[in-house]
Amino acid sequence: ETGVTQTPRHLVMGMTNKKSLKCEQHLGHNAMYWYKQSAKKPLELMFVYSLEERVENNSVPSRFSPECPNSSHLFLHLHTLQPEDSALYLCASSQEGDRLYEQYFGPGTRLTVT
Amino acid sequence: AQKVTQAQTEISVVEKEDVTLDCVYETRDTTYYLFWYKQPPSGELVFLIRRNSFDEQNEISGRYSWNFQKSTSSFNFTITASQVVDSAVYFCALSEATGGGNKLTFGTGTQLKVEL
């Protein structure tokens, strides 16, 4: 595998379900991100992990819970979601250093909450 | 607060036409980075270019070129001789370099449709 991978690619879940999204990066990066992309809205940054520590949590509801067990893996645990949470969830990674480097994105998980 | 504006929601062109996608940004930082990404129908954002605030040289990569003008806070993207494969949503983004991680602020994107 190369780049950034995400599983599953598509997920349909009920409002009472619990599920997890997985992201894995094969680029040797040390920062990882979760974004939410809804129709007609800009990409929204949800969480940032730098060196496996969470450095950003943009007022995301507690029904979204991130986990970063190591620099290559990032999870987003979902529970008690609402229909308005239906969106494309994108994971990204970048190399953090004395400069800002571009982020590389995975293909996303298309989430539908019924 | 940082902001990126892509005023063009959708552009349609005929193949081989040139097309320019506009991007205007706002920031109080003196050091910042600008990016362009392409999102084809498959959904994955593809990195196209990174430009730092101290480098105002225009850049050309094949049919793609970028015009960075600090005086007007713009970072426009031109595709020359467009092709059907260029059809995608294009996002301009601005980085904020504080507190760890590279926090990107994205514009709302421009949907480009290239038709035969």
The number of residues making up chain B comes to 116
pLDDT score at A1: 61
Interface list for chain B against chain A, based on CB atoms closer than 8 Å: 4, 33, 35, 37, 42-47, 50, 52, 91, 95, 97, 99-109
| Residue B103, pLDDT score | 81
How high is the pLDDT of residue B65? 94
Tokens representing B42? Answer: 């498959």
Return the pLDDT at A101.
78
Contact B100 A105 (CB under 8 A): no
pLDDT at A87: 96
Are A49 and B101 in contact (CB < 8 Å)? Answer: yes
Tokens 């969480």 belong to residue: A47
CB contact under 8 A, B102 and A53: no
DSSP per residue, A68-91:
EEETTEEEEEEES--GGG-EEEEE
Q: If DSSP codes are grouped into helix, strand and coil, which group holds residue B71?
A: helix
- Quote the percentage of chain B above a pLDDT of 70: 96
The parts of chain B modelled with pLDDT lower than 70 are 97-101
Residue A55's pLDDT is what? 77
- Give pLDDT tens digits for A44-88: 999 999 877 787 777 899 999 999 999 999 999 999 999 999 999
Which pLDDT does position B75 carry in this prediction? 96
CB contact under 8 A, A56 and B99: yes
**A60 contact B CB<8A:** no
Q: Give percent of chain B above pLDDT 90.
A: 70
Task: Number of A to B CB contacts under 8 A, please give it.
Answer: 69
**Which run of H or E residues covers position B90?**
strand B88-96
Predicted pLDDT of residue B100:
57
